[in-house]
Structures are given as C-alpha cells and as structure tokens.
A and B are shown apart, each in its own frame.
Chain A
C-alpha cells in the first residue's frame, strides 16, 4: 500500500464544533484529494490540492475548508460540524493529474451528534 495515513480513524463530535481531519503521505505525490462517501452517493469530491498552497473546490465543498502547507499534509476542516456531515471521509493521492492511479487512505468515520 502507498504511504498514506489518515487521522483520526474514528471521531464522534457534537454539532457546531470545529473538526480537522489530517491526511499524511510519504510518497511525495503532487495531488491530494478529500472525498466523502455516503450510501447511495458513491464518492463525492470535497476539495483537492495540486500543490503546496494550491487548492480547489470539488462538488460538495460547502461547509468544508482545506489547507496544504507542506507537500505531505492535507488538512480538511469542518468549521462548524452538522449532522449532514456524518460520513466516511477518504483522502487520496496521485502522482500526476488524472491518468495515473489514485491511492486511498484507510478512511475516517466521522459522526456528528
């Protein structure tokens, strides 16, 4: 497996609290992605990064922000968590833009109560 680690793996938080999920890679890949996965919706892109400090929105970015200050770390922040953000979150990396395989982290199961 590629060197990609998500933390935490599980988290329960209360509505209205901020939450930060971390994705760390040791592959020196340029591209990093945050997806959420919900039953019936497949994988939906939240935000992605194409370099340090270079990020862009995906299809479900409302309520989420990201930061990438180092090549190896990509942080996803829920500014004020809501129950609709209860989901499994996956980070993915790829060496080049689309055309090479994406490697996924183990996922973070987030529950907002």
Chain B
C-alpha cells in the first residue's frame, strides 16, 4: 500500500551545521506537506509542494520536490537550537483525498 518513508529517524548536529531529512515513496507523491513538532508541542504546518521539481525556501529552510515526484527533502542551513523538534512529511492518500499518509518523522537535536 501507499507508504511514506522518512530518513533518517534521528539526527544530532552541532549548532551551525546543516541538516537534511528525506521523504521517499515507491509510488508517486502528489501533495507533500511538511510539518514541524517541537518537543511537547503539536505539529505545525510548514509548507506544501505539489509540482515536480518544485523548490521553496523559508529563510534557512529549503524544501524540494523530486523531478519524478518519488521523494522530497527539507534542508536546514546553519541549524540553530530553535530548529530542535521532529519534522514530518505527509502525502495525500491516493485512495481517499480526505486523508493524509504520514511519515514517521525525523527528530532533530541541536547541540549549542
């Protein structure tokens, strides 16, 4: 069935280092959404990608959608302690537009 796989599961970086999390699928992705959840908090929407090859930036965050729409990535340049949290990707359920298929998330820890 439709699955969204995120790697890595955990990432520990020094403040100032870059960070990338990947969202992969064996089937074609359609509407990729990225969310961030701070420790103890709730998921917060970051961005949505819908077009093949699409690249969007939000300050130090760069989001990409693969040309073949089989993967997406979130890259953070020069991480800060405020970037700590879990980053989730989610795709529209191909069989039911009302539901999202979620990745398991990448937990980012940043050493000051």
Chain-B contact segment, one of A12-20, A64-72, A78-86, A97-105: A97-105
> Do B100 and A42 touch (CB < 8 A)?
no
Interface contact B98-A50, CB-CB below 8 Å = yes
A31–B88 CB distance below 8 A: no
Please determine whether A48 and B45 come into contact, CB atoms closer than 8 angstroms.
Answer: no
- B97 on the interface (CB 8 Å rule)? yes
How distant is the Cα of A87 from the Cα of B48 in the complex, in angstroms? 28
Complex interface residues of chain B between 43 and 68 (CB less than 8 A to chain A): 43-45, 48
Set B31, B97, B103: member contacting A42, Cβ < 8 A: B103
Which residues of the other chain, A, contact B93 by a CB distance below 8 angstroms?
A: 98
Binding site secondary structure of chain A: strand
Give the distance in Å from the alpha carbon of A76 to the alpha carbon of B53 in the complex.
40
A43 touches B97 (CB 8 A): no
Q: Interface of chain B, helix or strand or loop or mixed?
A: loop
Q: Chain B residues near A56 (CB, 8 Å)?
A: 98
A106 to B42, CA, bound (A): 6
**Smallest Cβ distance from A68 to chain B, in angstroms?**
14
Known: A104-B42, A104-B44. A97 touches B104 (CB 8 A): no
How extensive is the interface on chain B, given as a class?
20 to 34
Interface membership of A52, Cβ < 8 A: no
Chain B nearest CB, measured from A43 CB (Å):
5
CA gap between A97 and B105 in the complex, in Å: 22
Interface pair B88/A98, CB less than 8 Å apart: no
B12 at interface by CB-CB < 8 Å? no
Give Cα A54 to B88, complex, Å.
28
Complexed CA–CA distance, A28 and B99 (Å) = 19
Knowing A42-B105, A101-B45, A105-B42, the reply to whether A31 touches B31 (Cβ < 8 A) is no
Q: Is the CB of B102 within 8 A of A43?
A: yes
Q: B residues within 8 Å of A by Cβ?
A: 31, 33, 35, 41-45, 48, 88, 92-93, 97-100, 102-105
A-B CB contact pairs (8 Å), 12 listed: A31-B98, A42-B102, A44-B102, A45-B99, A48-B99, A56-B98, A58-B99, A92-B43, A98-B99, A99-B92, A102-B33, A107-B42
